[in-house]
Amino acid sequence: MTQSRESDHPLTTRPFPTARPSGCPFDPPAPFAEARQECPVSPLRYPDGHIGHLITGLRSARAVLGDTRFSSLPPGKRSPVKVPGSELSTDVLPPGMFVNMDPPEHTRYRRLLSKHFTIRRVRELRPRIQEMTDRLLDEMEGKGGPVDLVEAFAKPLPTLVTSELLGLPEENRAQFGHHVDVLFSLSSSGEEMQESMTLLGGMLHALIAAARKDQGPDILGRLTVETDLTDEELLGITFVLLIAGLETTTNMLGLGTYALLRHPEQLAALRADWSLMDGAVEELLRYLSVVQIGPIRVAAEDFEFEGRPIRKGEVVTVSLPAANRDPLGFDDPDAFDIRRGATRHLAFGSGPHQCMGHHLARLELSIGYESLLRRFPGLELAVPAEEIGLREMMVTYGVLGLPVRW
């Protein structure tokens, strides 16, 4: 593998930033804008000294994510920030972990799963998701406030939806959520991450065994009937779907509500015209871009990309928050405007690896936001805004908690 050298690059190399601007919890770290202004493809210094590339422009990000010369395979991949437990990682690709695969293997798994996430299939889930949402809001209202919206609503709703889709036993759902939190925290120790991986793996193996026996209507049950996937493949697939279903939607519900409360004029416009909800969801996805670290790719060959030489083995990190604030892609990109019509954002990625559950996530967010805001017309923060803790040291950005009253 070729190790690129800092002296090879005409532009200044930077470490990957995670600190948000003071008083601006919804804006990406300022160095992203500085890097994009110099060049949308700029040198990035990784924690082990490797010099790779940072992608901050919308067009460049879309091009990287759609170019198969940038590989998703594990060998050579590096996180742009130091990840606890990275010394425990391996370049061996677990079966079924299709997010870390290239075609044709990646394509095969996507085809097996995609029919479970079509627009038609997702729309059929609306009544059930609405029922879950209403039940959680009933419980929240019964507590009388103030409550932590993350614990009372933003976290339980995606957990309930994902659990039902995968057939997770109700008594294990809190444990699943805890282990996902540990794995996504940059503050977890390597030992904590290893323990959560082991325990989560054991729970998923038990789930797969139950699915093979019962063959229920959930996704896992259908896969045991409709495919010849091995238990190890099902383990990898379930792990991907579990994390994807919990992490991003939970943080979008919490952080998105916080953003609406901090932009009262936008919230008032939404309350005055609920037909703006779909546009509000798209703008929140663009404006917040909660996946703050990655996607990460590795150059599979030497080639030229947008006028810059890319060497085989060089690591490329796409910043979705930076790309979604590109002024060449969006007018006044740092403004939050629910009427923007921001449909070209990259909050769900792009290309072959675009998030397969994006229709489901949009539905959960639309139902969640509207039901919450309709139920509690006087919803407001229960503490000063400066006391809201933020997930800066997490792979997925969001609020640590959101105390609210009504």
pLDDT given for residue 258 in this prediction = 98
Report the pLDDT value the prediction gives residue 44, as an integer from 0 to 100: 95
For the stretch 153-209, pLDDT in tens is 999 999 999 988 988 877 777 777 777 777 767 667 778 888 888 888 888 888 899
Distance, in Å, from the CA atom of 318 to the CA atom of 60, rounded to the nearest integer, reads 9
pTM: 0.91
d(CA 385, CA 259): 11
Question: Which of 79-93, 261-275, 330-344 is least confident?
Answer: 79-93
Mean pLDDT of 29-46: 93
d(Cα 56, Cα 37) in Å, to the nearest integer?
9
Pairing of strands 70-71, 41-45: unpaired
Does pLDDT of 9 surpass 80? no
Which class for 190: exposed (0-12), middle (13-18), buried (19 or more C-beta within 10 A)? middle
Q: What is the mean pLDDT of the chain?
A: 90
Q: What is the rounded distance in angstroms from the CA atom of residue 196 to the CA atom of residue 188?
A: 10
Distance CA 111, CA 101 (A): 14
Give whole-number Cα distances, 253 to 53, 246, 373, 387, 399, in Å: 31, 11, 12, 19, 10
Q: What is the mean pLDDT of residues 123-140?
A: 97
Residue 59 has pLDDT above 60, yes or no: yes
| Residue 39: per-residue pLDDT | 92
Alpha helices (H) along 67-125: 105-114, 119-123
| Residue 327 reports pLDDT greater than 90 | yes
Domains of the chain: residue spans and CATH: 6-378+387-395 (1.10.630.10)
Q: What is the pLDDT of residues 334-344, one digit of tens each?
A: 999 999 987 89
What Rg do the C-alpha atoms of the chain give, in angstroms? 21
Q: Kindly report, residue by residue over 359-380, the tens digit of the pLDDT.
A: 999 999 999 999 999 999 999 9
Q: Give the mean model confidence (pLDDT) for residues 230-240.
A: 91
CA atoms within 13 A on the CB side of 84: 18
| Nearest of 47, 40, 38, 59 to residue 15 by alpha carbon | 47
Is the pLDDT confidence value at 80 over 50? yes
DSSP 3-state percent helix, strand, coil across the chain (nearest 5): 50, 10, 40
Q: Is the predicted pLDDT of residue 144 greater than 50, yes or no?
A: yes
What HEC string does 231-286 produce?
HHHHHHHHHHHHHHHHHHHHHHHHHHHHHHHHCHHHHHHHHHCHHHHHHHHHHHHH
108 pLDDT band, cuts 50/70/90, is very high
Strands 296-299 and 70-71: antiparallel
